[in-house]
């Protein structure tokens, strides 16, 4: 999660853990699957929640139901601004891959990570080096046209499988692009990722 937001499933038993099976690549089943832990407290992407949804927004907002991808259908019950936490309840009979899981129909499907098992990591996001098409045009000092946001360093929450990434090992972060573990700064147990290529978010197109 590049911009993580805490989600608490209030009616999920405290201390309980289970596994969800997810594809290594959503369009390439021959790449196999991996197991990811699920628990009561999760991280979701901040853009997957809003208190005031615009028209056509099918993600999480108070009173709305979505499916946690490869997990359960949940219903948002509110947002606690003091702790920056979204609260919800889940339907235990709707886990993906189990009989009757589709009994509740929802339009939204969002990503998540178990907060207990996720780990923080530095992620560097790169943008255009210059903020104009023709830096230095007309004799202007080209340094004045540098984009101050050409690189941002953030603290992301990543799934356990990425913690031991090797330098220069490459991954696709679904919805966010392609990332590579930094050659010099990344170490197994303390990875640092650089984004090489972005992906468009389907919601942003709207």
pLDDT tens over the chain, length 206 residues: 999 999 999 999 999 999 988 887 777 888 888 889 999 999 999 999 999 999 999 999 999 999 999 999 999 999 999 999 999 999 999 999 888 888 899 999 999 999 999 999 999 998 888 988 899 888 889 998 898 888 999 999 999 889 999 999 999 888 888 999 999 999 999 999 999 888 764 444 44
CATH number of the domain encompassing residue 149: 2.40.240.10
| Residue tagged 């943008």 (tokens) | 127
Does residue 149 share a domain with residue 63? no
Which is it for strands 192-197 and 177-181: parallel, antiparallel or unpaired? antiparallel
Residue 173 shares a structural domain with residue 77: no
Q: What is the rounded CA–CA span in Å between residue 109 and residue 69?
A: 6
Q: How far from the centroid of its chain's Cα atoms is residue 93's Cα?
A: 25
CA distance 165 to 53: 37
Q: Verify that 110 and 53 share a domain, yes or no.
A: yes
Domain range enclosing 37: 4-114
C-alpha–C-alpha distance, residues 158 and 40, integer Å: 17
Same domain, 105 and 146: no
Question: Which of these, 167, 142, 137, 171, lies nearest to 156 by C-alpha position?
Answer: 171
């Amino acid at each position: 999660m590049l911009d993580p937001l805490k989600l608490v499933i209030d009616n999920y038993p405290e201390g309980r853990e289970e596994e969800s099976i997810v594809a290594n690549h959503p369009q390439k089943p021959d790449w196999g699957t991996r197991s990811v832990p699920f628990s009561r407290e999760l991280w979701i992407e901040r853009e997957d929640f809003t208190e005031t949804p615009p028209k056509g927004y099918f993600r999480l907002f108070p009173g709305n139901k979505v499916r946690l991808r490869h997990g359960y259908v949940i219903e948002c019950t509110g947002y606690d601004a003091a702790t920056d936490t979204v609260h919800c309840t889940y339907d235990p009979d709707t886990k993906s891959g189990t009989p009757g899981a589709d009994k509740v129909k929802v339009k939204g499907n969002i990503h998540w990570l178990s907060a207990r098992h996720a780990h923080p990591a530095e992620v560097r996001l790169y943008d255009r080096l210059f903020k104009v098409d023709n830096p230095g045009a007309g004799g202007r000092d080209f340094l004045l046209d540098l984009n101050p946001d050409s690189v941002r360093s953030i603290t992301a929450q990543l799934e356990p499988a990425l913690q031991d990434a090797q330098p220069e090992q490459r991954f696709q972060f679904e919805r966010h692009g392609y990332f590579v573990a930094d050659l010099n700064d990344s170490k197994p147990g303390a990875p640092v990722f650089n984004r090489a290529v972005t992906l468009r978010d389907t919601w942003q197109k709207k």
